Chains A and B, each alone.
Chain A
């Protein structure tokens, strides 16, 4: 599903970034691992239940200011939907998430 701009994505239970540095950053999840770099890492680092989808888009449009803003937005929405389908992400409703 495509998230609403007001939703606050949060990594699902059992999904987290690896803690080892300076290894490549990796999203660890049950039975799988995804290597992250560039935009994918920038996005996942913001999936903390605090940032809204709109805030993530705004942040990345600033970081990747040479890219077409609409393209950045659609890429982010597509990536969030993909992670959600893989059950790596929950979309928390509009009110700020409680701390775990």
Chain B
């Protein structure tokens, strides 16, 4: 490995955990941050300036629901003033045209609107809220303004049968870009995994449909997707490598290498209220822990792919194999691959028709 510290490209600004939705696959940690502990507008402004000075190009505003912060326009304005590209990842609730105009005037570059599926029942079942009709309004308002627009459909076992309907809805709403994101199994999704993980047959069919849509919509809508890595031959290069391209700041100011890093025991994360973002990125134990290759075990240590996938995901290695430094068990070369194989075998042996009604664990709203 080289000893130079890499330069981060994106800052994930998780500005609040408050959210009107209760998605069963929410990527937030099981322990949610309270409103009275959220960072101030001024601290976020400093974080954006520090991020920009470090070479970060983009700020992704996420949550929870970022719209829950009444100072969102000010935060976007300060990110733009710092020289960052400002992207909002939102459920579209609560939003009206007046507030959208305020965000656009503040310099919002891009809005990503999440959907639970193509129908009203989808949001009711998977987000525990009636959100679909509002999202359709938001999509129309965004189209009327000159900002980037992405639709994001979270797909899984329970809604993959409606994938073609989702593509039809995408064509009607005509965003510049659409993401079909198979659920990744962390946080609330890990808790609900048995109801979410698709069968092999569903996955294969979904990839056929998506490849067809990509081809058909080329030049009109950019179609992208994320596959569930339990089915992959090799792991995903999680976050582009630990402490390598992306950093995340939580609502209370902890700087993390990824959304899920808190699940790894024995890790402590430094806070932007105590040290600069650059000091934390360069020197903190958490960011150095799995940076580079020194931490790797076999087979990663000598694997030809180690500079491509960085051994996969550290959080997943801990969640599945109980060892955050192990090869990601989704890898076909992993010593602990049998754990994933057993999960897949169970999912694929239970016929969908006889599966009982899901017993969801819904994500609550923090105080």
Contact = CB atoms under 8 A, between A and B. Distances in A.
Interface string B85-110: 10100000000000000000000011
A90 B57 CA distance: 23
B20 interface: no
A33 B222 CA distance: 15
B176 A12 contact: yes
B16 interface: no
Given A14-B109, A30-B176, A30-B177, 6 more contacts: A13-B147, A13-B149, A14-B147, A18-B57, A19-B83, A87-B221
A86 B219 CA distance: 7
28 contacts: A1-B219, A12-B148, A13-B149, A14-B109, A14-B149, A14-B176, A16-B85, A16-B109, A18-B57, A18-B85, A20-B52, A20-B83, A26-B57, A28-B58, A28-B109, A29-B110, A30-B110, A30-B176, A31-B150, A31-B177, A33-B57, A33-B58, A85-B222, A87-B176, A87-B177, A87-B221, A87-B222, A100-B146
A15 interface: yes
B146 A13 contact: yes
A85 B57 contact: no
Interface residues of B, number: 22
A11 B308 CA distance: 31
B144 to A, nearest CB: 11
B57 A30 contact: no
A51 interface: no
A20 B9 CA distance: 14
Interface of A: 1, 12-16, 18-20, 23, 26, 28-31, 33, 84-87, 100
Interface of B: 9, 52, 55, 57-58, 83, 85, 87, 109-110, 112, 146-150, 176-177, 218-219, 221-222
